[in-house]
Each structure stands twice: as structure tokens, then as C-alpha cells.
Structure 1
Amino acid sequence: MKRKWWLLGGCLVLIALLGGGFVWSQSRPNTVSRPARHNRVQTQDAESTEVKVVKAKPWIKLKQPLKLPILMYHSISSGNQLRVPKKQFASEMAYLKQHHYRTLTTTEAIRALTTNTVPQKKVVWITLDDAYKDNLTNGLPALQKYNLHATINVITGFTHKHNHLSLAEMKRMKATGHVDFASHTVQHLNLDELSATQQKQELVNSKKWLDTHLAQHTRMLCYPAGRANATTHRLAKQSGYTLALTTQEGMATLKQGRYNLSRLRVTPGMSTATFASLITVTNR
């Protein structure tokens, strides 16, 4: 009998111990999971503090009409008056960088001219006509090196020619963020010598090609050889262009008209001093 009571007592003690252990394990703090949650919160906090919202600086409203220097280049090579050597182009890009010029995109140039505002006091718009292949091989490296931007005016009917940019090459250039593309018509004909119907085909079809193949909304037209007439201006507006460039020498101002803007021709052999004086302008 004593042996039975001893066994029964032992079982009760064992049950009590097991039950107490279960209760204790359920009630004690979770020393593993809580620090893990805390670490996740810390990580999230750390990530959130790393995200910095950079507020864009407001553009400056000018007291006088904007005088915008629009540089006109063609081929970046040597051989004639329309070709600026690679070394000279790189030197001029270096000058712009060293003197803190902001090189505008087409969108920014349109905004500047139509609102009379600028992102900073020293701005310039670089344009290259005809879309020569050396714009990629000789021009783009300098733009990338100095973190500048340029607009290339494309003759859309010439993209199959060996010395002009192909569509694939234009896409590569656009992807860098240093280049955008505008219209230089389809066949590079003197628009003022064409009928209204022919002019419209040149303007509409080049814009359609660029919009379709480069997935963009083309808003700028550059006249071949700077040639245009009143009909051209009217058709440019009807075709959906916001601005058009000529080869007339001088600073661009909106007083010239949106479809008759002047540019500054950069010639081979131009000294750095001459280049500097070419783009110097005061807008207050």
C-alpha cells in the first residue's frame, strides 16, 4: 500500500512539474522574436532615412526677354566649314562645364523661351544638324565626360546612309540621357521652294517617324539650310511643332517668332575666346 501511494505521489509531482513548465514557457518573454522585430523596424527606419526628397529649384523669372544662345554644329570631324574637329568640340564642351553653363534639353528650351524663365542664369542650347554618325563616335563622349546635353536634328530619310545615324544608334544615344532628337525633315529639301503640300509631307512625316520610332512627342523643327517662308511657319504650327530653328545668326528671342529662331554657328578653328564671346549674354 505504501508503495502504491509513493508511486501515486511521484506521478502527481511529475504532472505538476510538467504543467508548471508549460505555463512558464508560455508566459516568459519571447527573447528571440522581439529583437528580430526590433531589427526589422530599425532597418525600415534606416531605409526611410536614406530616402532624401530633392526639391527642384524654381526657375528664375527674367525681367527682360530671354536671349538664348543656341549653338549650331553639324559634323564633329574635319574637312569643311560645317565640320568642327573632335578636339575643338571637346574643348568647347569643357569650357561650358568649367564655366557652369546649364545645357538645355529641347523641352527645357521650349519652356525657357515660352515662359521667359531659366533654371539658372547661364544657359545654352546645343544643337547638331543632320545626325551624322560622328555625333555618336566623336560628340557623345565629350557630352558624357562633362555631363552635358545636346539636341540632334534628324533627317529621317537618311537613317539608312552609312555616314548618318541609324535608328539603333539613335536609341543608344537617347538612352544615355545626354541627347534628344528633333526633326530636320525627311529629305533635307529647301522648304521655301516646295509647294504647301510637299512642305506638309516633309514636316508631318518626319515628326511621325520620330514619334513612332523613338517613342516621343517631337515638338521642335529645324529647317534644312535655314530655308522657310510664311507657309512653312503656318504648316509647322499645324503639324504640331512648338518651335522652329533657322540658320540666321544671333541670339534666339521670342520676338523673332516661335518658328523663326536664330542660332550661333560654331566654325572650325574658332578660338576659345571667340567661343566664349559668342555665348556670353546678360538677361536681367
Structure 2
Amino acid sequence: MVAVLSIVLIAVLAYRFFYSSNKQTSDNNFFEAKEQQNKDKKEKKKETDKDTWKKYDDEIKFPILMYHHISEVVDGNTLFVPQKEFEEQMKSLHDAGYYTLSPEEAYRVLTKNEKPAEKIVWVTLDDGYVDNMKNAKPILDKLNMKATINIIFNMKDGVDKMTDDMLQEINKDKLISLESHTMDHIDLQYATPDTAKYQLEASKKGLDELLKQDTSVICYPSGRYNDSTPELAKNAGYKLGITTNPGLASASNGLYTLNRVRVAYGNNAQSFMNLIDQGQ
């Protein structure tokens, strides 16, 4: 009887050892395969990203669109574009094959004369209004399009402006970038060098700390600047500066004095695309 029990016990232990060894081998094979699969995906994405960028001989020019409010027009204010119009415009760009740029991608276009698609556009919204989050973001998300919102740092939590919590939340969206529109939206054209330096440096530092990022774009209030502003912006750590000078953006504008295309209300899909084509 004892001999029989011993044989049974040995058989059970042998089975458990065999099962455990096979399971461990199986698990190892699974995780190794999964790791290789993820590696292959990363390599493929890296290769795909590389393949989409093409270098050009002629200088690349592209539109940087300028919006403010995305909501119903108030008292004929041209800073407002109705949500319906904005959606039609974004859909027109999407259907026409336009690739929307992030700030980092715009910098690459301007410094390396490369682009990831034949048609490119950079969508920017100034001031940091709540309606950018409520009305513009859902449209951009639906169409998988990128946009940059330029924040007036000391006007956060103000009337119709996004709060710190809102900025941190929207910044989690990979399609949205948040950049600087100075501390107080003062006219840099007439600011003293010390005042301009503070407006540029403090707003960058504030956004860097709030959003845990390296803020790289300065949007000049009302698009105005003077001869010293570009150098001050560069010294503050920005890579690009955008204005309200009309026309298409290109490296020949100067990296810190880039043109933009103002979009006011009243543009249907066709007139909007004409605006894009003309760069006015």
C-alpha cells in the first residue's frame, strides 16, 4: 500500500513539475513574442514616419491659420468664428488631403525644408478661450487634426478663458499643443526691452512648469513686434515666433516673424479654401 502511495505521489510531483516547466516556457515564449511584436511596431512606425517626410529644393510655403473664438458671433466681432463654420473649414482641409502640423513639425518644415505630406497647414487659436476646448476640440478630435492654442498666462481663469485644470486636461490630448501668448497680452512693439523680456521669459517658464513641457512658440499679441523682439524671443528659448503679417509662412519670413492667414466669420467651405490658396 505504501509503495502504491509513493508511486502516486511521485507521479503527481512529476506532472506538476512538467506542467510548471511547460507553462513557464509558454509564458516566456508569449512575452518574448509580444515584446518582439511591439518592437516591430515601433520600428515600422519609425520607418513610416521617416518615409512620409520628403525634402524639397524650392522653399516650402504653407498657411498658418489664425483663429480666436470658436462660437457664435457677438456684435459683429471678427474674432468669432461659429462652430459650424469651423467644422466645415476643418472638414474641407481634411477632405482636400491637408496634413495639420504640430509646432515641432512646423519647426522641422521651416528648418529642414521637408514636409510630411504634399499639403500642409498649421492651425492656431489665440488667447485660450474656453470655447476652444468645448467647441473646437471635439471637431479636431473627430477629424484627427492637430491645432495649437496660444495662452495668455496671466489671463488664465479670466472671463471665457481656460483654467489651469482645463489647460492640464486639454494638454493630455496629443492633437493639441499649448504655446505662449505672453504674460499679459501687451503690445510688444512699444514695450521696453526689459518689459518685453519679462513677458516672453515669464510666460514660457509658467507654461513649462504648469504643463511639464518645453514651450517652443511665442505668438505676439496682436501680432506686433519691433526690431529687438525676435532676438529677445530667441534668447528666451523659443524656436518660432508667429505674427499677424498676412501671407504664407516660410523660412524667408524669419523663424521669429512668421506670417499667418487670418480667418474671420462668414467664410463657407469654398471661400475658405480660396483664402488658403491665396494665403491672404
The 1-side partners of 2:155 and 2:11 are apart by 80
Q: 1:55 aligns with which of 45, 60, 65?
A: 45
Aligned-residue offset at 1:91: 1.2
Report the count of equivalent residues: 267
Match for 1:166 among 159, 163, 173?
163
Q: Are the structure 2 counterparts of residues 266 and 40 from structure 1 closer, same or farther at C-alpha, using a change threshold of 3 Å?
A: same
Q: CA deviation at 1:36?
A: 3.4
Cα drift, residue 277 of structure 1: 2.5
Q: Matches of residues 1-284 of structure 1 in structure 2 within 5 Å?
A: 32-33=19-20, 35-37=22-24, 39-40=26-27, 43-44=30-31, 47-48=34-35, 50-51=37-38, 52-53=41-42, 54-56=44-46, 57-58=49-50, 59-77=53-71, 78-79=73-74, 80-280=77-277
Q: Deviations over 1:30-85 (max 9, x none)?
A: 76446535643553465356433323332210111110210000111122111110
In structure 1, C-alpha distance between the alignment counterparts of 2:193 and 2:79, rounded to whole Å: 29
Compared with structure 1, are the counterparts of its residues 250 and 44 closer, same or farther at alpha carbon in structure 2 (3 Å cutoff)? same
Q: Determine what percentage of the aligned residue pairs are the same residue.
A: 36
| Structure 1 residues 108-158: Cα deviation after superposition (integer angstroms, max 9, x where no partner) | 111111111111212110000111111111111111111111111111110
What is the Cα deviation at residue 233 of structure 1? 1.6
Which has the larger Rg?
Answer: 1
Q: What is the root-mean-square deviation of aligned Cα atoms in Å?
A: 2.6
Where structure 2 has 5 or more consecutive residues not aligned to the other structure, the ranges are none
8 Å CA contact 2:148–2:178 kept in 1: the answer is yes
Q: Secondary structure at the match of 1:201?
A: helix
Which whole-Å deviations, capped at 9, do the CAs of 1:84-118 have from their partners, x for residues lacking one?
A: 10111111111222222211111111111111111
**Counterpart position of 1:7:** none
**How big is the shift at 1:232?**
1.1
> Is contact 1:72-1:263 (8 Å) kept?
yes
Is the alpha carbon distance of 1:34 and 1:200 closer, same or farther for their aligned partners in structure 2, counting shifts above 3 Å? closer
1:279 aligned partner, one-letter code: I
Per the normalisation by structure 1, the TM-score is: 0.85
CA distance in structure 2 between the partners assigned to 1:21 and 1:133 by the alignment: 76
Note the residue ranges of structure 1 that are not aligned, 5 or more in a row. Answer: 1-13
The Cα shift of 1:225 comes to 0.8
Distance 1:216 1:31 in 2: 52
Distance 1:40 1:248, change over 3 A: same
CA deviations on 1:146-193 (whole Å, 9 max, x unpaired) are: 111111111111002121111111111111222111111111111111
Residues 39 and 136 of structure 1: CA distance in aligned 2, closer, same or farther (over 3 Å): same
User: Partner amino acid for 2:234?
Assistant: K
With normalisation by structure 2, the TM-score equals 0.86
SS in 2 for 1:81: coil
Residue identity matched to 1:97: H
